[in-house]
């Protein structure tokens, strides 16, 4: 299915954007107006569709700049919902909270969903779709939300906003436990990470295709968008073999992924625009910090060096 036509979009490249720099993090110091504007001016040269993760200060700044500066972006706006139940199977030891924290998270999630609706109404010409969460149902998540509650959030947003509504999740849950949710969303959003599943670069594209077509084949009446697919450039060896990640491999995966998805007209958000040092463990080689096409200092990695050459 041509996902661009299904969502009434013109074909163009898409990327996940989160602009937190050194010393910044969600809930702490946020990027400034000028810092976000610098990022957007870099990205607008080659990407039209941006995926934002949350309705926080950063997300609002991005929308404000696009509106005021009249930049040519369309946004998939997300609300990052936090854990509403414990996940004792979280492999890195997170996912377990007090009853008071879970209740506070639930109240916060309700507010985030309301804010998602408010932003959708405020920026109808910029926000083209809405996501009620990110990786909140997969078995390894540290912010587990029951699928029936995610479904309730989807239905609430669909009643109140005009944009198509989705939920962004790893491809695996869509293959069985999320079938009721798949029937409710306007389109399905999947994440696929071959390198996290111990695939080498030679196996990477075929593995991504298998993930995509497994979900798309199960729901032929629903558009399926890839909202995350990427390749890390560094690793400390925890979860990802350091020999499987570098800038050359990222370039191979990016170019092969774009060639396939553009041929098949699959809207695909590459993960991600910029390295984010706040993520994961404090170790400098923590792979969560190193997925960007740009380094944290905004210099381009090998994959896009040719796009940003200076005289």
Q: Please give the pLDDT value at position 92.
A: 85
Work out the pLDDT band at 85, boundaries 50, 70, 90: very high
* E strand segments, the chain: 14-16, 49-52, 74-78, 127-134, 165-170, 188-192, 224-229, 268-270
Work out the pLDDT band at 311, boundaries 50, 70, 90: very low
Q: Could you give phi then psi for residue 129, rounded to 5 degrees?
A: -160, 165
Q: Please give the pLDDT value at position 93.
A: 82
Write the Ramachandran bin of 30: left for phi over 0, alpha for psi from -120 to 50, otherwise beta: beta
pLDDT digits (tens, 9 = 90+) for 178-189: 999 999 999 999
Contacts of range 82-85, beta carbons closer than 8 Å, 24 or more positions apart: 82/108, 82/109, 82/143, 82/145, 83/142, 83/143, 83/144, 83/145, 84/109, 84/144, 84/145, 84/146, 84/149, 85/144, 85/145, 85/146
Cis peptide before 283 (omega within 30 of 0): no
Structure tokens at 97: 């909270």
pLDDT digits (tens, 9 = 90+) for 247-300: 999 999 999 999 999 999 999 999 999 999 999 999 999 999 999 999 999 999
pLDDT digits (tens, 9 = 90+) for 6-54: 999 999 999 999 999 999 999 999 999 999 999 999 999 999 999 999 9
Q: How far is CA 21 from the centre of its chain?
A: 18
**Mapping DSSP to helix (H, G, I), strand (E, B) and coil, where does residue 246 land?**
coil
Q: Please give the pLDDT value at position 205.
A: 98
Q: In angstroms, how far is the first alpha carbon of the chain from the final one?
A: 42
Structure tokens at 198: 């111990």
- Residue 89 in this model has a pLDDT that exceeds 80: yes
Rounded average pLDDT over 145-152: 98
Q: Where are the domains of the chain?
A: 3-308
CA 308-11-53 angle, 5° bins: 70
Please check whether the domain covering 3-308 is classified as CATH 3.20.20.80. Answer: yes
- Residue 197 in this model has a pLDDT that exceeds 50: yes
- Residue 200 in this model has a pLDDT that exceeds 50: yes
Average pLDDT for the chain: 97
DSSP string, 178-245: THHHHHHSSSEEEEE-GGGGT--TTTHHHHHHHHHHHHHHH-TTS-EEEEEE---S---SSSS-GGG-
Work out the pLDDT band at 229, boundaries 50, 70, 90: very high
Q: Is 238 exposed, middle or buried (0-12, 13-18, 19+ CB in 10 A)?
A: middle
- Residue 309 in this model has a pLDDT that exceeds 60: yes
Q: Please give the pLDDT value at position 310.
A: 67
């Amino acid at each position: 299915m041509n996902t661009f036509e299904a969502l009434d979009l013109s074909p163009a490249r898409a990327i996940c954007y989160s602009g937190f720099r050194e010393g910044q993090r969600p809930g702490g110091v946020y990027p400034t107006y000028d810092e976000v504007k610098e990022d957007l001016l870099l990205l607008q040269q080659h990407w039209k569709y941006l995926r934002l993760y949350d309705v926080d200060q950063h997300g609002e700044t991005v929308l404000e700049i696009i509106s005021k500066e009249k930049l040519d972006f369309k946004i998939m706006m997300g609300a990052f919902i936090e854990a509403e139940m414990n996940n004792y199977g979280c492999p890195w030891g997170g996912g377990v909270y007090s009853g008071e924290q879970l209740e506070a998270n639930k109240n916060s999630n309700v507010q985030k969903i309301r804010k998602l609706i408010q932003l959708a109404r405020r920026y109808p010409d910029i926000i083209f779709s809405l996501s009620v969460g990110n990786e909140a149902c997969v078995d390894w998540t540290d912010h587990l939300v029951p699928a029936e509650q995610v479904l309730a959030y989807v239905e609430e947003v669909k009643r109140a906003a005009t944009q198509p509504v989705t939920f962004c999740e790893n491809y695996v849950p869509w293959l069985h436990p999320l079938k009721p949710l798949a029937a409710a969303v306007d389109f399905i959003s999947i994440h696929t990470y071959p390198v996290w599943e111990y695939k080498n670069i030679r196996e990477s594209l075929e593995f991504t295709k298998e993930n995509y077509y497994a979900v798309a084949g199960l729901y032929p009446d629903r558009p399926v968008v890839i909202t995350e697919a990427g390749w890390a450039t560094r690793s400390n060896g925890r979860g990802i073999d350091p020999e499987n990640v570098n800038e050359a491999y990222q370039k191979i995966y990016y170019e092969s992924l774009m060639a396939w998805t553009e041929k098949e007209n699959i809207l695909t958000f590459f993960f991600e625009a910029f390295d984010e040092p706040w993520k994961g463990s404090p170790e400098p080689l923590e792979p969560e910090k190193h997925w960007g096409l740009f380094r944290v200092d905004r210099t381009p990695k090998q994959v896009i060096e040719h796009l940003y050459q200076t005289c």
